[in-house]
Structure 1
Amino acid sequence: MSPRRIRVVLRRHGPEALVWRRRVAIVGGAVMVGIVALIFADVADRANALFHGFVARWWWAPLIATPAGFALIAWLTIRFAPLARGSGIPQVMAATKAPEAALSTLVSVRAAVAKFVLTAGALLIGASVGREGPTVQIAAAIMGRMHRLLRIPLRSSVYIAGGAAGVAAAFNTPLAGVAFAIEELAAAYEQRMTLLVMAAVLIAGMVSLGIAGDYIYFGAMRQTLGFTQALVAAPVAGIVGGIAGGVFSRLMLEAGRTTLPPFGRLRTRPVLFASLCGAVVAITGVATGLTWGTGYESANHIIAGGDVPAWFGIAKFVSTLATAVSGIPGGIFAPSLSIGAGIGALLREVFPGYSPGAIVLLGMVGYFTGVVRAPLTAVIIISETTASRGLMMPLLASALTADFAAQFVCKEKLYHGLSQRFLQAPK
């Protein structure tokens, strides 16, 4: 081969070739996503534990600290990183529409760092938020920045892969990451995205597994339902959970666009509005003692067969809605699973002869599907976080029923509706 031919071959297939740089970006980005997701999880858990210790010592203190904390976080978000508000998933959806521009706005380093710090801060003041949605935005930012550093053109698939890897690392659920990419992040799942998404999800999952160990998010739940029991319970859980989840989505979407005088005026004063939402969270939390933070402990307790008051699901619903509409950074995945567990606890009373843990999971998948309208993702998340593979068919039946029922309450999908605001907002 001539020297010129050798140079051409090296340029196309050597270490500096685009194909190799793209592979390095995928692997390096996925490894970073796995590490950052685990650090974020640890920081969030510590913040949650600190708040619970604070409440145990001074039960009345959140009545002052939580509204003030909501106001402070809202001000910091507006002042330094307005695109870090809310869940983070709508931002990634909007980022796929203009990948290059989004790297300096919707999935910028500033937005990712603010998301990390302010979500932890929200848990430190008792807000009903989860870390899973924020992890999606942070992961997309990491994947996008890695591609930029290696001078690789950005495509929407980069953010989709990053977000999917974030879900996989946050829950230790690789299959749910793939399903989430297909159902939520990608409006039209293109064949060329397959390798990128699968590689990112698997690598991030392996990093999480290697560092944190082979854990099950909610612990193993081995209960099952008979065929006849599933035929009866799954549709009921789907209808109840789907309607409740649809109501949450409808209220959250309407809160951002209603022209009713009180809300219209309050939207022009977002810090005051956030403090009022914080007051609702504080009053609900102090009155019940069960609605603070992610709700992971309550959900785990219910799945394991523990009892909670009949009003738990409603109280957690109010706390989560108040937090979500306040505009402070934080996700709704974990709180939604907790609300669903509360609905499942009520359904246990309706089906006393059925396996109680199985009924709780049907309530969880029904409500979660009603909120996010992604039945496949909901089923896989519940199945992987509880190792309840024997319930796959009842869970799927409940999720599909919930998706159908939720449409009668809220036709618009929550995350897609929220993403439109980031497309229309000034960058």
Structure 2
Amino acid sequence: MSPQYLQLRRLRIIFRRHGPEALVWRRRIAIVGGAILIGLIALLFAELADWGNAKFRALYAHWWWAPLLITPLGFAAIVWLTNRFAPVAKGSGIPQVMAATKNPEAALSTLVSLRAAIAKFVLTIGALLIGASVGREGPTVQIAAAVMGRIHKIFRIPLRSSVYIAGGAAGVAAAFNTPLAGVAFAIEELAAAYEQRMTLLVMAAVLIAGMVSLGVAGDYIYFGAMRQTLGLSQAIIATPIAGIVGGLAGGLFSRLMLDAGTIQWQPFARLRDRPLLFAGACGVVVAVLGSFSGLTWGTGYDTANSIISGGSVPAWFGAAKFVSTLATAISGIPGGIFAPSLSIGAGIGDLLRSILPGYPPGAVVLLGMVAYFTGVVRAPLTAVIIISETTASRGLMMPLLAAAVVGEFSAQFICKEKLYHGLSRRFLPAEKPSSV
């Protein structure tokens, strides 16, 4: 062979390995493009979710009795649509992404398919339109993982679990406008083993999605700035109290959520075997609580924001929101529990500040929120960062972390298993018994 031919062949090999068509460049384009798209979709989702919440509240304000009809029927209709068109879209969405990491290639056509993502998007907004106690953050994780997976498939990039982890983390960052929380969530919840090779993918996706959110929506703080702090003596007393109360309550929620799918008590089991009737019964619970309280509808964001800012709610608010959120979560309709859990935690914090007079009220409320949220999701680092970033309460980092640690420890006395990990197994194929 001539030297010219060998040189040309060498150049072709280099171009194939390092040129625009090379895998490394296609992967980078997929990461950047996917993260930008996730940021935009998360913002659109947030806007439409707020619109759905506002429309329902306007309906309730005009006809207080209307939800007693609309909510139960709406629950049954959404469960029928979910079971008929996208069964994997039910519930939060985070367990589905966890299950998807076990078999990334197969999951792209099932757990994180575009069909599931579209159904999740539309039906979660529908759930808010009928007053369900749901949040959009968990659904954003499933939608974001589906987007990231599809983009990688379009660019002919082999799918790995890190693709879904990065997409889900970017969804959290864009949903809360909290990039650090996205990284923490990827480490604590989505990744059973955080591999070094996925570090760049996760960081890049989270930061780009966060920048898109900041660029379009502005540098807003989710719950508004809360600058109160606790003195050392106050923190020593308030932190363990909040951690124990919030952690036990969060552990109870997780235990009831997990047991609802397996409990064999005959009246409940018979009702559960009739999905539409069961959903309608859950809708009745949500409608009755909401109609007579006026506070337990939707995400609970407005109520939590009011409590943090110093507003008061009835002592029973936390318990009522707890029951409303539990009824919604076990009904089978699509929707997350992040925002409602923060609202329940705020209600617990409101109770705590009534027994801790003289303490900074906003700070006590945040301790209740972080403890309850940790008790539910069992991810203390994520909980602390979310509360800190959504309230700009950096002066409370150490008390928040202490309350979260106590909350996680306390929750284990009620529920040994982590909620999302337990729910994720329901989306995995059943293991076949081995033949002897």
> What secondary structure is seen at the aligned counterpart in 1 of 2:196?
coil
2:135 maps to 1:130:
yes
1:355 aligns with one of 316, 340, 360: 360
Q: Indicate the residue corresponding to 1:22 in structure 2.
A: 27
Q: Deviations over 1:35-78 (max 9, x none)?
A: 00000000000000000000000000000000000000000000
Q: Say whether residues 1:424 and 2:429 are aligned partners.
A: yes
Q: Using the alignment, how far apart are the partners of 1:150 and 1:260 within structure 2?
A: 50
Report whether the alignment pairs 1:326 with 2:335: no
Shift of 1:12: 0.5
Residue 243 of structure 1: which of 232, 248, 260 is its match? 248
- Identify which of 205, 209, 213 aligns with 1:208: 213
After superposition, give the CA deviation of every residue in 1:284-341 in whole Å (9 maximum; x if it has no partner): 0011110000000000000000010000000000000000000100000000000000
Partner of 1:289 in structure 2? 294
Rounded Cα–Cα distance in structure 1 between residues aligned with 2:298 and 2:34: 29
Q: For residues 429 and 223 of structure 2, what CA distance do their matches in structure 1 show?
A: 38
Match of 1:259 in 2: 264
Separation in 1 of the partners of 2:411 and 2:260?
18
Q: CA deviation at 1:350?
A: 1.2
TM-score normalised by structure 1 residue count: 0.99
Moved over 6 A (4+): none
Partner residue of 1:55?
60
Partner of residue 283, structure 2: 278
Cα distance, 1:263 vs structure 2: 2.2
Cα separation, 2, equivalents of 1:129 and 1:262: 26
Query: Does residue 310 in structure 1 map to residue 315 in structure 2?
Result: yes
2:379 maps to 1:378: no
Report how far residue 424 of structure 1 moved.
3.3
* Separation in 2, partners of 1:370, 1:328: 23
- C-alpha displacement at 1:250, in angstroms? 0.2
1:395 and 2:400 matched: yes
1:186 aligned to which of 176, 188, 191: 191
- The 3-state SS of whatever aligns with 2:428 is helix
Distance 2:113 2:184 in 1: 25
Which one of the candidate residues 91, 103, 117 is aligned to 1:86?
A: 91
Summarize deviations over 1:251-277 as a string: whole Å, max 9, x none.
Answer: 000001111112221222111100000
Query: Please, which runs of 5 or more residues in structure 2 have no aligned partner?
Result: 1-5, 432-436
**d(CA) in 1 for partners of 2:367 and 2:263?**
33
Number of the residue aligned with 1:404: 409
Q: Residue type matched to 1:137 in 2? A: Q
Q: Distance in 2 between matches of 1:70 and 1:425?
A: 28
Matches within 5 A, 1:138-153: 138-153=143-158
Rounded to whole Å, the distance in 2 between the matches of 1:283 and 1:424 is 37
Relative to structure 1, is the Cα distance of residues 144 and 160 closer, same or farther in structure 2, using a 3 angstrom cutoff? same
Q: What is the distance in 2 between the residues matched to 1:308 and 1:259?
A: 36
- Name the stretch that deviates more: 70-79 or 254-263: 254-263
Q: Any idea what SS the aligned residue of 1:2 has?
A: helix
Distance 1:4 1:388 in 2: 60
Does the alignment pair 1:96 with 2:115?
Answer: no
Q: Which digits, 9 at most, give the CA deviation of each residue in 1:90-143, with x for residues without a partner?
A: 000000000000000000000000000000000000000000000000000000
TM-score (norm 2): 0.97
Distance 2:271 2:172 in 1: 33
Code of the aligned partner of 2:144: A
Judged with a 3 Å threshold, the aligned counterparts in structure 2 of structure 1 residues 335 and 171 are, in CA distance, closer, same or farther, namely: same
1:182 offset after TM fit, Å?
0.2
Count of residue correspondences? 426
Work out the CA distance in 1 between the residues paired with 2:418 and 2:82.
Answer: 25
State the Cα deviation string for residues 382-417 of structure 1 (Å, max 9, x = none). Answer: 000000000000000000000000000000000000
Q: 160, 163, 178: which is aligned to 1:155?
A: 160
Amino acid at match of 1:259: Q
Q: Secondary structure at the match of 1:104?
A: coil
Alignment match of 1:301 (pick from 297, 303, 306): 306
**In structure 2, the residue corresponding to 1:115 is in which secondary structure?**
helix
Structure 1 portions without partners, runs of 5+: none
Name the residue aligned to 1:40: 45
Question: In 2, distance between residues paired with 1:220 and 1:395?
Answer: 16
Q: 1:425 Cα deviation (Å)?
A: 6.2
One-letter amino acid of the counterpart of residue 22, structure 1: R
The residue type paired with residue 305 of structure 1 is G
Deviation at 1:13, TM superposition (A): 0.3
Q: What is the rounded CA distance, in whole Å, between the counterparts of 2:240 and 2:177 in structure 1?
A: 28
Q: What amino acid maps onto 1:142 in structure 2? A: V
Q: Which residue of 1 aligns with 2:116?
A: 111
Q: 1:425 to 1:275 in 2, by over 3 A?
A: farther
- The percent identity for this pair of structures is 79
RMSD: 0.8
